[in-house]
Structure 1
Amino acid sequence: MVDRLPSYQDDPEQLALAKFMELNQTHAPKSKFDYSIVMEECEKTGAAYILIVEDDVVFLDGWRHRTMQALNVATTKSWEAGHTNFLYLRLFYYESLLGWNSESWPTYLGSSLNVITGVLCLLFLIRRYAPTARPYLTCSVFLLTALVFTPFLILLFFAAGRNCVLPQPAGVHLMPKNACCGQGLVFPRATVADELLPLFRSNRWSQVPTDSFIEQHADATGELRWALTPVVMQHVGGRSSHGVQRGTYGVMTPSRLWNFGFEGNDAGALAAEHLRVNNRTL
């Protein structure tokens, strides 16, 4: 928490700029402008880390101690990777973007062909070294296995969804691609002061949304982007702020579960875990 609530009224130049942005509906520049004001105020507190949270989220019971543990792990892993710091720790991500991605189709095709080839090699080995199985391993069996049964099982594998068959590992891990959104990001204070604040100020009128703007900076600089699994917060928003006029409902987006893993938490288990942690720190 900041020591005081920042306001546009604190600086006439900021107030005039905010009014101009709102009148011209410059959503992306306005969001970066707001981010810079909030980050600057948080940076003044001298806290080691700064958590930027949007207002349409729900935290789970005990989120803070999990986050602090994850920050220690992220720092250690960053040092081991040869970095003195990292860009952020992500406390929430949208699972659907971590599914099967169209740009990775060559990898999926190659893996599928490898599986089919492996199955055929296994059948050939069985036919060669197990004479009793030869009468059953006919040409039709090979064809059905290679062209029907194995491809069908591969299709079932993909149909189940990547988050089901290949879920994100528990703990702190890198998430440099397909990470959304900016509902909960923890930044080291040094990263905010030395990189993000100057970046926002020098690119104030960029039309790139704030979360994508931060991701582009990470892509360009190679900064480490860590994510915590399971997530400790859930996005509950079902309405987009893009194009919203004052006094209107704005653009509605379909309601959805943004992170299915969050919904699997047990309230009683979380409360017991939180109590154990509190008792250890007393």
Structure 2
Amino acid sequence: MEAASSSIDTYYISGSKLKQLTNQTSQKIVPSVRLIAYSTSAAAAFAALANDRTHDLPISRIYTMGIASALRRLLSNVATHGPTIFRRLRSRSGVYAFIAFLFIYLALIRYCSFAFHRDPTSAFFDPARGYERKYSIKRQRDAESFIHNANTSSFHQKVTPKNAKMCVGVASVGRDGEQYVEATIGSLLDGLTPEEREEIFLVVLIAETTPSHHPIYGKTWLTNIVDKVLLYDVSQPQLEDLIQWENERDYRKKAIFDYTYVLQRCYNSGAQWIVIVEDDTLAVRGWYPRTIEALAMADEQYPPKKGSDWLYLRLFFTEEFLGWNSEEWPHYLLASIAVTGMTAVALLLLRQFTLKTTITNTMLVVVAFICCPMCIALYFLAGRLSMQPLQPGVHAMPKFGCCAQGFAFSKEMAPRVIARLSSIRSGFVDEIIEAWANELNLVRWVVIPSLLQHIGGHSSKGDDYGSKSKYSRTVAEKIWNFGFEMYDDNIR
């Protein structure tokens, strides 16, 4: 009986010790597990949001929001379990190191909010400051001054097609309210040297079936500086189609027709290069030599002997769609795991050889599951363009290059583009061209920084405050190049 009682007591004592040991272990592990669980749940939530197509947020913005949510949960749990963390760190040096990390982290957040407010891919993006006009205001004033000077009978600046190296085409539709085409044409010509002007054949289409409806029709400055003012010279059936499209506001068909009409007239000029720009853009001072240089670089980087063609050189793009992309999430995940793993290995090596008492197991857990995730989250929150800035020069941009504000084509490519657009006949120019390029694996180049800025506040197509508008801005106002505003005319 006594032996049996002894066995029961022994079992009870062993069970109590086991329970106590389990509780101690769980107290050490559970906070870290909770941190991981909260981060995982946040990641799952924003992944679900990314797959939901009922919203109009860019994927890069969704992932940034998700990372921000995960970071908030992480910081909340750090605050909740702070005393436990400090107690488990044991050594003063470990506690001081963690406190120093938190202060540095908060300072970095403050720096990010100051430095990355113009990055639309960043969680610190501030629309009020990001969309602030700086350089474009100066260029618009330059353009207006140029047009004012050209609006006199004594002013004359024209060339003949035979001398042109580049044909620049602009199709302009009369808008309700502000007309941007004056600023567009003025900025294209302002700042050109006489030799550069001799190499440009400027064509402007008054894209109205009744030309007098366009406010710039018949203006003195227009005939003084534009080499060829185009009006519709089409057959009666085509004219009837154009009138119908105007009356029905069928911009998908009319925009394609206008684009191909101008492109064909530029091709007929015999110029080696053809640039088509929209009538609500501004050109940087010195855009012409930069474009010629970029076209030469495109030819050099992708010579014809490679067996493929390059389609265009993009003179404008918006950075909004160049953030962290859902297609690349496996790469981001592997890179994050690698950074965390290398950090843990480095700490283990330090503990092995020098800091044996300072780097405890708890510190390793804190660094691996708290500090590293916080740093990685901040890296992504800062924005792709801030962490991986676009390098100046000519680069391939096969995806995410919006929109059709400015394309440069070679004389050899122009007929193929005309044929493709004419075969589709309805849609948006940039979407049709991009789909065609994907089909034929055509190379698409972009010049960085952008040589054009989109200044249109209201689209000629209407739908200013449709589903794609945000930040209390119209759809047209959102088509914006943030880097353009950082230009300085003193830096050529």
TM-score between the two structures when normalised by the length of structure 1: 0.85
1:143 maps onto 2:365 in alignment: yes
The verdict on how the C-alpha distance between 1:250 and 1:42 changes in structure 2, with shifts beyond 3 A counting, is farther
CA contact (8 A) 1:57 1:237 kept: yes
**Alignment partner of 2:292 out of 43, 68, 92:** 68
Cα distance in 1 for partners of 2:248, 2:394 equals 41
Q: Please, which runs of 5 or more residues in structure 1 have no aligned partner?
A: 274-282
1:242 maps onto 2:461 in alignment: yes
1:237 aligned partner, one-letter code: G
1:203 maps onto 2:424 in alignment: yes
1:54 maps onto 2:278 in alignment: yes
Cα distance in 2 for partners of 1:212, 1:81 equals 28
Cα distance in 2 for partners of 1:220, 1:168 equals 27
> 1:176 aligns to what SS in structure 2?
coil
> 2:407 aligns to what SS in structure 1?
strand
Report deviation, 1:189.
1.4
**Residue 169 of structure 1: aligned partner:** 391
**Residue 160 of structure 1: aligned partner:** 382
Report deviation, 1:157.
0.8
Cα distance in 1 for partners of 2:312, 2:251 equals 23
- Over residues 194-251 of structure 1, what are the superposed CA-to-partner deviations in whole Å (9 max), with x where a residue is unaligned? x11111121114xx3111111111111111100011111211222233336xxxx886
- Over residues 25-83 of structure 1, what are the superposed CA-to-partner deviations in whole Å (9 max), with x where a residue is unaligned? 33222211111111111110011111010111111111111110000000111117814
1:229 maps onto 2:440 in alignment: no
The verdict on how the C-alpha distance between 1:250 and 1:139 changes in structure 2, with shifts beyond 3 A counting, is closer
> 2:412 aligns to what SS in structure 1?
helix
> 2:238 aligns to what SS in structure 1?
helix
Cα distance in 2 for partners of 1:82, 1:35 equals 30
Cα distance in 2 for partners of 1:102, 1:84 equals 29
**Residue 35 of structure 1: aligned partner:** 259
**Residue 280 of structure 1: aligned partner:** none
1:141 aligned partner, one-letter code: M
**Residue 98 of structure 1: aligned partner:** 322
Could you say which structure has the larger radius of gyration? 2
CA contact (8 A) 2:276 2:406 kept: yes
**Alignment partner of 1:220 out of 435, 439, 462:** 439
The verdict on how the C-alpha distance between 1:265 and 1:213 changes in structure 2, with shifts beyond 3 A counting, is same
Cα distance in 2 for partners of 1:138, 1:28 equals 66
1:229 aligned partner, one-letter code: I
**Residue 311 of structure 2: aligned partner:** 87
Cα distance in 2 for partners of 1:250, 1:10 equals 35
1:30 aligned partner, one-letter code: K
Cα distance in 2 for partners of 1:89, 1:10 equals 30
Report deviation, 1:5.
3.0
1:197 aligned partner, one-letter code: I
Cα distance in 1 for partners of 2:404, 2:279 equals 11
1:108 aligned partner, one-letter code: Y
The verdict on how the C-alpha distance between 1:120 and 1:81 changes in structure 2, with shifts beyond 3 A counting, is farther
> 2:395 aligns to what SS in structure 1?
strand
Cα distance in 2 for partners of 1:215, 1:81 equals 23
> 1:5 aligns to what SS in structure 2?
strand
**Residue 488 of structure 2: aligned partner:** 266
Report deviation, 1:22.
2.5
Report deviation, 1:110.
2.1
Cα distance in 1 for partners of 2:264, 2:281 equals 22
Q: How many residues align?
A: 261
The verdict on how the C-alpha distance between 1:81 and 1:28 changes in structure 2, with shifts beyond 3 A counting, is farther
CA contact (8 A) 2:281 2:454 kept: yes
**Alignment partner of 1:16 out of 240, 261, 264:** 240
Report deviation, 1:24.
3.3
